[in-house]
Structure 1
Amino acid sequence: MRWGAEPLADGTTRFRLWAPDAETVAIEIAASTLHPGEGRGTAEEARTSLTPTANGWWETTLPAPPGTRYRYRIGDTAVPDPASRRQDGGVHGWSIVRDHAYAWRTPDWRGRAWHKMVFMELHAGTLGGFAGITQRLPAIAALGVTAIQLMPINAFAGMRGWGYDGVLPYAVHEAYGTPDDLRALIDAAHELGLSVFLDVVYNHFGPDGNYLGLYADRFFHRDVATPWGGAVAVDEPAVARFFIDNALMWLRDYRVDGLRFDAVHAIDNPAFLDAMAAEIRAALPDRHVHLVLENEHNDAARLRPDAYDAQWNDDFHNVLHVLLTGETSAYYGDFADRPAQRLARCLAEGFIYQGDPSPNHDGKPRGTPSAHLSPTRFVSFLQNHDQVGNRAMGERLTRLTDPAKLRAATALMLLAPQIPLLFMGEEEGSDTPFLFFTDFHDDLADAVREGRRKEFAKFAAFADEQARARIPDPNAESTFAASIPQPGPDAPAWRSFYQHLLRLRREQIVPHLADTATMPVSDGASNDLPRIRSLGAQATGDARVTARWRLRGGKILTIVIDLADNPAPLPAAPLMISEAEARSADERTGSTSAETGAAASPTPLFTTDDRFVAWIE
């Protein structure tokens, strides 16, 4: 890898730093290496100048075995290695030369096919770090989840945080455990058949501990504004290399199975995204490696077999949140009008906004056409860290809607062909909030606290200053403690509910989701079967939708959901699919197999609370 400290076979280590603005660069080696049980010396042992090479790079090779503690000196300022693999003393402390001595127990693990994924998003800090998550893995696997997705685990300032304010993307956050603790977690997950995904942030750095601007101002486009300052300059070769190598590190050195790329709309460089995906896939052809986007642009062109497997579909959450809670403030206003029709479009075509003007985006068009994509290109969720934690008081849906409506929406998420994602605690009906928390100090802590409160001024409930003062202080330790998920009062019933639905998905839905567009033949897919496709969805009431899909092998999945306060009776059997409807679906998806539905089965696959029913025939 181009960036960072690279141990060599002869016992030396090559150190590299891109510092095009620096006049001199030196490396300082601490008086002791870091080994378990040994003291951590802080005295400087040696300072060596790095040699400038081409295009702003500096390097040197020194006798520095794994565990060596080092830092760079730019002028009078000591800085960590921006590609540090491990820190001692936080993001302002010493970097540590990495050690690859871990002996994997699951070296033959190749991952799971994409269509088999059921995600659970986890925050390592609130779950007791890597060791705490490892202890929970058997229960997660027994539930029927097939993949965990860790919120960012790279190093950020302080002990507590969501991870999206990271400043050292290559280093594991110290409070969560060591690099080997993370490897042990991944090993244990693979032993249980669980894939492991990692959320990575390539669109910005946090406000505390980012020294790159000191010696590499070209790392940023200062004239391109983002919510976090100047945009990351991924069109600069050294910067692109920084992030692509980081993605490859997590996939190779830690054997994670996939990455979720945070808010790539803030990167706003499709060429970089495509190049990164192409290099990752070329580097790891013998494993199931999956790449997922968060992208407010709803850019369907990125969702293809040689690029990205899927996108988090915020549209699914947003419209269901409106139907479940009646909330229409801020961005929910984009979904307030005709929510049932919008949900129908989401189920049939993926994105709701496909070039339509978005009131929340000043009336500008958002999104691109997506009806031609397989449903498995979309990750659906009712709750996640954003949609819970970005609420002022961090309320989960258990506190915002009727349990019967929530069960119906959950059944939709878990039985529809889109890829489902749960948020930790959801499976136990948790009503614990998940709040926004940080660990900043002094002026920065004040700025974050006040900025958080001003952010909600556009919400009616927090329009006045006194109401905003009730919003928990992100820097208070009590805010973090309140966010540790606890089982809800009906936890056994909720867990049984999720377990039953996930068993139905595994046995009745997943075998028919293998799509030639997303699935290699070696995984059991047959090219002579038509790809899965929507047969359309219709709003049949103000809060009622009927949706149908033709799955692989000709199976037809029908779902009816009704989230009205007073739902109408559910149908006793699925409606027949007419030839006209099938032809219309063909035109949307580009398919040519306009087959009509089979005879309706009188026995539903699942039904709940007179609000949801599903058949598969």
Structure 2
Amino acid sequence: MAGQARRHGPQIVDHGVIFNLWAPTARSVELLETGQPARKMPRDVDGWYQLLSPTAHVGTRYQFRINGDLVVPDPASFFQPDDVPAPSEVVDTAAFRDSIPYAGRPWREAVIYELHIGTFTEEGTYAGVEKRLPYLRDLGVTAIELMPLNDVPGRHNWGYDGVLLNAPNARYGRPQALKQLLRAAHALDLMVYLDVVYNHFGPQLNYLHSYAENFFSARHATGWGPAVNLDGPDGVFVRDFLIENALMWLRDYGFDGLRFDAVHALKDDSERHLLVELAETVRHQLPGRCVHLMLENEANQAHLLARSQGEARYYDAQWGDDFHNALHVLLTGEDEGYYRAFADKPLQHLARSLTEGFAYQGEVFPLHDAPRGEPSAHLPPEATIFFAQNHDQIGNRAFGERLSKLVGPEKLSQAMALVLLNPHIPMLFMGEEAAAETPFLFFADWSGEAAELTREGRRKEFSHFKAFSSAGMRARILDPCDEETFQASKLDWTSIEHSPASLKFRALTRQLLKMRREKIVPLIEQGFLSARSELLGESPRTGGLNVCWRTANGTTLQIVANFADHELPMPGLVPGESLWRSLPADTQSLLPGDIVVRLGQEV
């Protein structure tokens, strides 16, 4: 098989298990199968080490010994029952495949609920999430998005610093429990998406450098160090590994979609970019299912969201950070950090996001002093995912405050109505539906130098903010590696289920989602032909918006919102049905925090 990609990970065959390891910079590799003597693995010209073990089977635990010294887990391990440095376990993920796969739901119906397995419930397990699925279905959610599951050293982590991409974290349960969670969700007609990270590996117990230096590239660099090697002579093996990972989650476990983290950091000068190859492979190999592929992409590359005959050619949508950042500035007045790029004219940025998807479409981005983005006005609204909160925007704050701690109930309700009643795809972050006030902090369980660097790096990150200009204030930032930081981030379900304020906001969320399902989704199915916006007020930093989308049959959806701290004149309203107004309907002007949503035919 010289020159060809070969399957990573153990292959179960009739007469045992074939173990594979791509270790091109290792001098020797031995298989350490529990209960058996060490066995030397033969190598081919491409750096693949392979051995058939007639004694291995499902459940067998094993490791590899590199150069007679370093003992490592399988980088393609499907399960690490005792954490990353311990033996890997042979798991037959193909046995998880459903004979009749869940078909999924059309993308236009997606209402995404992002959650972290370890903090969504007190149990912090797949089974804990499964118990809450009826709650999410009854709320009006149609898809849950799990933050990364790939194994990470330690007891808790966000998941974005994984080192074993195929192995779901044992802290949440066995792989069979994850599969059961998906089956339970599908039985309730809930889709399940997974966040995957291909742009870097975590800082601790990533052994790839020890035997597969070619997995990383000296030609490209990212904020996390050397880039993953996608376009070098050995890039074919790396690309194959990542594409196989995506297919495993979608085909074997039955996930209905993937969200790809920070793809702007996937440095690839190949004629066919990894993102194109990956999307085309998934679309080709999984026909007949609604598989949704989503990007986080700081580069705002509209070409990756292109449509062909109304369907996504590559990716269904991108996270709409531009929308979030502009909305956050308008709601809170904050203008530091990445909000600085939206603080000059947040109304215009929000209006452009609502009507065209991206606020930055090739203009110079102040934070990078370079152009950012591609024209996106031709894309349908559902090519962007809009949110008022997510794990990053909450967790990257020094104290992990949610929007419910930063603004009053009027603005919170206004933000929820705007997110759920516009024609872009909405996403909520766990607890947001109930105005939860528990923080969501950055947490990890590193040890030694990695832990110290994380603590210091976290405090240094906020040193340029006015509120943390003094060492004393920075010292108040919680230690990410402290167990209490993780525990503080768990949702308080007692409050969600019994607090009058939470119950009231949950009722609002449920009402808005019902309205979206009945009124907005049919418009998306019709298709929007045009969108326009009008700024209300005289200030570029505050004021209001009047946004209209028109469908192919002439129906117009209108949203009018006042983000100022004073009244604004009410613009002309579309004749027709009033879907929503946050303040009394007889008010003739727009009051602060007001939002009006109407559906009808424009004159």
Cα deviation, residue 388, structure 1: 0.2
Cα deviation, residue 268, structure 1: 3.1
2:335 aligned to 303, 328, 336, which one?
328
1:468 and 1:184 mapped to 2: Cα distance?
Answer: 43
Cα deviation, residue 244, structure 1: 0.4
Pair 1:493-2:508 in alignment: no
Cα deviation, residue 291, structure 1: 0.4
2:206 aligned to 210, 228, 233, which one?
210
1:405 and 1:543 mapped to 2: Cα distance?
Answer: 14
Paired residue type of 2:264: H
Paired residue type of 1:174: A
1:231 and 1:387 mapped to 2: Cα distance?
Answer: 25
2:103 and 2:94 mapped to 1: Cα distance?
Answer: 21
Q: Show the counterpart of 1:256.
A: 255
Pair 1:288-2:290 in alignment: yes
Q: Show the 5 A alignment for 1:231-246.
A: 231-235=227-231, 236-246=235-245
The normalised TM-score by structure 1 is 0.89
Find the residue that maps to 1:470 and give its secondary structure: coil
Cα deviation, residue 534, structure 1: 3.3
- Check whether the contact 1:512–1:553 (CA below 8 A) recurs between aligned residues: no
Q: Deviations over 1:468-519 (max 9, x none)?
A: 100000011110111011246411101100000000000011012126xxxx
Find the residue that maps to 2:37 and give its secondary structure: strand
Pair 1:133-2:129 in alignment: yes
2:454 and 2:531 mapped to 1: Cα distance?
Answer: 48
Q: Show the counterpart of 1:61.
A: 52
Pair 1:506-2:517 in alignment: yes
Find the residue that maps to 2:558 and give its secondary structure: strand
Paired residue type of 1:607: R
Q: Deviations over 1:54-102 (max 9, x none)?
A: 3111111112110000011101000110000001321111111113486
Q: Deviations over 1:410-464 (max 9, x none)?
A: 1011000000000000011101100000111122211111111101111111112
Paired residue type of 1:346: S
**1:181 and 1:277, CA in 2 relative to 1: closer, same or farther beyond 3 A?**
same
Q: Show the counterpart of 2:3.
A: none
Q: Show the 5 A alignment for 1:556-571.
A: 556-568=556-568, 570=570
Q: Show the counterpart of 2:579.
A: 605
Q: Show the counterpart of 1:522.
A: none
2:560 and 2:45 mapped to 1: Cα distance?
Answer: 63
2:326 aligned to 303, 319, 336, which one?
319
Cα deviation, residue 551, structure 1: 2.7
Cα deviation, residue 538, structure 1: 1.5
2:84 aligned to 91, 103, 109, which one?
91
Pair 1:276-2:265 in alignment: no
1:298 and 1:103 mapped to 2: Cα distance?
Answer: 36
Q: Deviations over 1:515-561 (max 9, x none)?
A: 6xxxxxxxxxxxxxxx3133211211232001111235432101101
2:347 aligned to 340, 350, 353, which one?
340
Cα deviation, residue 303, structure 1: 0.5
- Check whether the contact 2:160–2:197 (CA below 8 A) recurs between aligned residues: yes
- Check whether the contact 1:110–1:288 (CA below 8 A) recurs between aligned residues: yes
Q: Show the 5 A alignment for 1:146-165.
A: 146-165=142-161
Pair 1:297-2:299 in alignment: yes
- Check whether the contact 1:105–1:187 (CA below 8 A) recurs between aligned residues: no
Q: Show the 5 A alignment for 1:379-458.
A: 379-458=385-464
2:418 and 2:52 mapped to 1: Cα distance?
Answer: 57
Find the residue that maps to 2:578 and give its secondary structure: coil
Farther off after superposition, 538-547 or 434-443: 538-547
Q: Show the 5 A alignment for 1:162-241.
A: 162-235=158-231, 236-241=235-240
Farther off after superposition, 183-192 or 542-551: 542-551
- Check whether the contact 2:529–2:550 (CA below 8 A) recurs between aligned residues: yes
**1:288 and 1:186, CA in 2 relative to 1: closer, same or farther beyond 3 A?**
same
The normalised TM-score by structure 2 is 0.91
Q: Deviations over 1:261-318 (max 9, x none)?
A: 0000111337111011101110001111110000000110111222100000100100
Q: Show the counterpart of 2:309.
A: none
- Check whether the contact 1:570–1:613 (CA below 8 A) recurs between aligned residues: no
1:169 and 1:455 mapped to 2: Cα distance?
Answer: 28
Q: Show the counterpart of 2:37.
A: 46
Q: Show the counterpart of 1:551.
A: 551
2:468 and 2:94 mapped to 1: Cα distance?
Answer: 53
Find the residue that maps to 2:259 and give its secondary structure: strand
**1:230 and 1:173, CA in 2 relative to 1: closer, same or farther beyond 3 A?**
same
- Check whether the contact 2:97–2:253 (CA below 8 A) recurs between aligned residues: no
2:106 and 2:531 mapped to 1: Cα distance?
Answer: 24
1:455 and 1:223 mapped to 2: Cα distance?
Answer: 27
**1:402 and 1:567, CA in 2 relative to 1: closer, same or farther beyond 3 A?**
farther
Paired residue type of 2:456: E
**1:82 and 1:458, CA in 2 relative to 1: closer, same or farther beyond 3 A?**
same
**1:567 and 1:132, CA in 2 relative to 1: closer, same or farther beyond 3 A?**
farther
Q: Show the counterpart of 1:6.
A: 11
Question: Runs of 5+ in structure 1 lacking a partner?
Answer: 32-44, 516-530, 576-599
Paired residue type of 1:110: A
The sequence identity of aligned pairs, in percent, is 48
- Check whether the contact 1:339–1:543 (CA below 8 A) recurs between aligned residues: no
1:272 and 1:16 mapped to 2: Cα distance?
Answer: 23
Find the residue that maps to 2:273 and give its secondary structure: helix
- Check whether the contact 2:94–2:252 (CA below 8 A) recurs between aligned residues: no
**1:103 and 1:171, CA in 2 relative to 1: closer, same or farther beyond 3 A?**
closer
